[in-house]
């Protein structure tokens, strides 16, 4: 069977012009949380925030590299490269991702089959999402990445500020080690002029909770001539500290090109000398060849230091692979992002009805129908409000399908932070077993018509765009997914009658 080749272009290009005035809405929302304000789909990109969270794993090999290092400064340096890689793809996207509806999910499996990711929207207002990642490094080291994230956005007149509260937490089960890193903020400029551009700003902290190393990284504000301010974006600098708090290395560069790590010369000399002394002492004691052991000081890996004169052959911690061809007409996406909402027959198989790929508004925007996308977006948002009102009337509390709040991990209120060392919301299990088997537990799917697919199927309409259809490649369209869900519900009702 031939290997799956992801698509390289979206079905339709991004619209060139927006007749909607974003400024007319924002000036009425100054200082307010924008998650409470409905916007037309024309300001969106055809990905949800859940899918955007998976983009943090675009450079998955960097995480593998970090896991396969022993604990110490080198693992910390590799984790810095992985954490910073997640910001490169933000800068070329002036349009916002779709806000997930309550109960929306998304899953992704890496092309190498070693890693799989599940993300779920747990709270709608104010929004909270959680993710669970499980995988195996190429050297056979199992790992788990968990986390929760709450986005809070406010407009301050000159720019829109989006703060990402929460963190990611890497756990290595065999050694019981945990590493955590925080998220920088996003500033959206040019809302008044209409020339929107993105800047990623702020601190990124990385912690090794078991061994004590840490890193402090800073994404600098954009700078440039002519008042645009965006000529130089993505610049980063920082320090990596060993377990005793000594500066072991520095980090600098730009996430839009490459980021490098440099050994602190004084620290490096001490580390090399200590490593040699330990090896020599071990050889004398054992009467044989020196045996390498982990020392308190850790020399930086030679691949980052380089072996040539002046370290000219040193490799970067992270090198940006670039945007997709014709990126301006592809919403500023990378090749990785272009494939995230693709829905082939194989990807559709066993897909739960809550998956982002089944969103009718996002699918319509991807297909180039902005008017239909806005109509479907209002419908999805209306379903959220109606469901919330029904729960309130019944005094019911919403329960997520795949995650549960942990009362014993950390001290966060909505989410946990990097210093907590664990996510507030933890994976409850069962998703992948049901995904592979194609039989979804009623608690996970029954009553979770989050996109209105069943209602969409039965609502009278004269719009041809609403008619059930399939893509050119044979993948079921949105309405086909509703048919599948209706059939599954009918089958469940039949089983209930038989049981009775």
Confidence of residue 36 (pLDDT cuts 50, 70, 90): low
Share of the chain above pLDDT 70, in %: 79
Residue 307 CA from chain centroid, whole number:
35
Residue 273's pLDDT is what?
85
CB 207 within 8 A of CB 196: no
Range in 311-315, 337-341, 434-438 with the lowest mean pLDDT: 311-315
Q: Which residue carries 């960097």 as its tokens?
A: 62
Residue scoring higher pLDDT (210 or 478): 210
Among 149-153, 176-180, 201-205, the minimum mean pLDDT is found in 149-153
How long, in residues, is the chain?
Answer: 500
Q: Is the pLDDT of residue 500 over 60?
A: no
Q: Higher confidence at residue 419 or residue 290? A: 419
Q: Alpha-carbon distance 228 to 496, whole Å?
A: 64
- Of the listed ranges 151-160, 338-347, 358-367, the least confidently predicted one is 151-160
- Per-residue model confidence (pLDDT) at position 481: 38
**305 compared with 458, residue with greater pLDDT:** 305
> Residue 10 pLDDT > 90, yes or no?
yes
Q: What is d(CA 225, CA 15) in angstroms, rounded to the nearest whole number?
A: 29
Q: Does domain 31-223+230-284+295-334 have CATH number 2.40.160.120?
A: yes
Using alpha carbons, list the distances in angstroms from residue 478 to 9, 366, 376, 467, 483. 20, 12, 11, 10, 9
Give the tens place of pLDDT for each residue, 451-478: 988 654 433 333 333 333 444 444 444 4
The pLDDT value recorded for residue 13 is 95
Cis bond upstream, residue 126 (ω within 30): yes
The predicted model scores a pTM of 0.85
DSSP 101: P
Enumerate the β-bridge partners of residue 204.
217
Query: How much of the chain, in percent, has pLDDT values that exceed 90?
Result: 59
State whether the Cα torsion 21-23-27-29 is positive or negative: positive
């Amino acid at each position: 069977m031939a290997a799956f080749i992801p698509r390289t272009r979206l079905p339709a290009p991004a619209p060139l012009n927006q007749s909607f005035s974003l400024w007319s809405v924002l000036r009425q929302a100054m200082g307010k949380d924008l998650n409470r304000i409905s916007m037309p789909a024309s300001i969106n990109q055809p990905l949800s925030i859940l899918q955007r969270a998976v983009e943090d794993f675009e450079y998955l090999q960097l995480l593998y590299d970090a896991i396969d290092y022993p604990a110490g400064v080198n693992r910390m340096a590799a984790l810095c490269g992985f954490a910073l890689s997640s910001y490169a793809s933000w800068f070329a996207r002036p349009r916002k991702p779709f806000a997930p509806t309550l109960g929306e999910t998304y899953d992704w499996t890496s092309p190498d089959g070693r890693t799989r990711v599940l993300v779920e929207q747990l709270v709608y207002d104010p929004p909270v999402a959680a993710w669970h990642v499980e995988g195996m490094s190429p050297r056979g080291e199992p790992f788990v990445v968990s986390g929760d994230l709450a986005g809070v956005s406010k407009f301050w007149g000159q720019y829109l500020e989006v703060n990402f509260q929460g963190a990611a937490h890497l756990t290595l089960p065999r050694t019981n080690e945990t590493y955590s890193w925080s998220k920088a903020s996003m500033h959206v400029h040019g809302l008044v002029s209409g020339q929107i551009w993105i800047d990623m700003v702020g601190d990124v902290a990385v912690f090794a909770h078991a061994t004590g190393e840490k890193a402090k990284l800073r994404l600098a504000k954009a700078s440039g001539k002519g008042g645009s301010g965006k000529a130089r974006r993505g610049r980063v600098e920082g320090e990596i500290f060993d377990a005793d708090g000594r500066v072991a290395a520095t980090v600098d560069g730009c996430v839009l090109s490459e980021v490098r790590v440099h050994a602190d010369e004084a620290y490096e000399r001490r580390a090399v000398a200590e490593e040699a002394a330990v090896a020599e002492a071990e050889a004398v004691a054992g009467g044989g060849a020196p045996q390498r052991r982990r020392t308190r000081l850790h020399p930086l890996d030679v691949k980052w230091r380089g072996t040539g004169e002046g370290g000219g052959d040193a490799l970067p911690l992270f090198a940006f692979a670039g945007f997709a061809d014709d990126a301006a007409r592809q919403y500023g996406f990378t090749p990785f992002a272009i494939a995230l909402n693709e829905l082939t027959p194989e990807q559709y198989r066993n897909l739960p009805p809550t998956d982002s790929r089944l969103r009718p508004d996002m699918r319509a925007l991807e297909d180039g129908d902005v008017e239909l996308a806005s109509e479907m977006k209002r419908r999805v948002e209306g379903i959220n409000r109606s469901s919330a009102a029904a729960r309130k009337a019944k005094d019911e509390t919403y329960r997520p399908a795949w995650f549960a709040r942990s009362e014993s991990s950390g001290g966060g209120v909505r989410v946990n932070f990097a210093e907590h060392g664990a996510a507030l919301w933890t994976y409850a299990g069962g998703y992948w077993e049901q995904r592979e088997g194609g039989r979804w537990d009623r608690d996970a799917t029954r009553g979770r018509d989050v996109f209105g697919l069943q209602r969409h199927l039965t609502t009278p309409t004269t719009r041809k765009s609403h008619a059930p259809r399939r893509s050119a490649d044979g993948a079921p369209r949105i309405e086909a997914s509703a048919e599948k869900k209706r059939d599954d519900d009918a089958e469940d009702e039949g089983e209930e009658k038989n049981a009775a």
